Amino acid sequence: MLKQRVRAAFDRAAPTYDAAAIVQRRVCDRLLDALQIPDAPQRIIDAGCGTGYGARRLRSRWADAHITGVDFAPSMLELARQDFDACFTADIEKLPCEDALFDLWWSSLSLQWCDAGIAFGEAMRVLKTGGWLAVSTLGPATFHELRHAFAGVDHHRHTLSFSEADAIGDALGRAGFRNIVLRRERHIVHYPDLKSLLRAVKAIGAHNVGEGGRAGMLGRHAWQNVEAAYEHFRQADGLPASYDVIFACAQK
């Protein structure tokens, strides 16, 4: 199953994640900037907490909040444990939490590995009435350069498919959320060459998990074609890797 492969990839990447997670930290900061709520949340759940960067940023704003971390990769959670008041190894589609427990359900760049409708249903369940949701996820233009570079090599899918912003908004509405606000941003990281780019993606665990991907290594000629195709995107700062980021805030 895709989710089992994703879990295994993130588990293996735990030791290298923080050093490579440039965009992940940037997006987390932007999500916190976007979250403007009238009252300080007393209880927060960080759904898909990774190594705990989000918890540290949340605590910088709300120092007295009780923060619970949930992640399905045990090695990630082990690194994050000290940043939380409570933590659980679990899937955010099936939270091990009581109903109506939290004032804020927070998730930064984890939703793309889940069924959004199920995850939002769980968020609705564990939030108190009037509680808030803040989420960032990846949109369909993520890694569009990489998708284009591989397109001329074979007919296999080498990148994941991500949801449009409208689909995220619709899923929130179906789950029962109101006061939904969506925003979309493009974040770019530059690398000196394609191998460096792919090593960085591997270091955060988000590699080799695309549905329909081809097993095994590309041949030398095919790899040279991919490198040549990607070179068309080169900018002054290097080869770009684009992240199409969708931000959403909503209220129960």
Q: Is the pLDDT of residue 210 over 60?
A: no
**Of the candidates 172, 189, 175, the residue with the CA atom closest to the CA atom of residue 245:** 189
How many whole angstroms separate alpha carbon 21 and alpha carbon 198? 13
Q: Which domains does the chain have, with CATH numbers?
A: 2-140+161-188+242-251 (3.40.50.150)
Which pLDDT tens digit goes with each residue over 54-89? 999 999 999 999 999 999 999 999 999 999 999 999
pLDDT tier at 157, thresholds 50, 70, 90: low
Q: Note the Cα 219 to chain centre separation in Å.
A: 31
Indicate the pLDDT class of residue 15, thresholds 50, 70 and 90.
confident
Report long-range pairs for 16-22 (Cβ below 8 Å, ≥24 apart): 16/203, 16/204, 17/50, 17/51, 17/76, 17/79, 17/203, 17/204, 17/205, 18/51, 18/53, 18/79, 19/203, 20/200, 20/203, 20/204, 21/50, 21/51, 21/53, 21/204, 22/189, 22/200
Q: Exposed, middle or buried by CB within 10 Å (0-12, 13-18, 19+), for 212? A: exposed
The mean of the pLDDT values for the chain is 90
Angle among Cα 35, 37, 43 to the nearest 5 degrees reads 95
C-alpha span between 73 and 108 (Å, rounded)? 15
Q: Which residues contact 40 (CB under 8 A, 6 or more apart)?
A: 62, 64, 65
In whole angstroms, what is the distance from residue 127 CA to residue 97 CA? 10
Q: Confidence class of residue 234 from pLDDT cuts 50, 70 and 90?
A: very high
Query: Alpha-carbon torsion 34, 165, 209, 47, what sign?
Result: positive
For residue 158, the model assigns a pLDDT of 64
Examine the pLDDT at 209 and tell me if it is beyond 50.
no
DSSP 2-33: HHHHHHHHHHHHHHHHHHH-HHHHHHHHHHHH
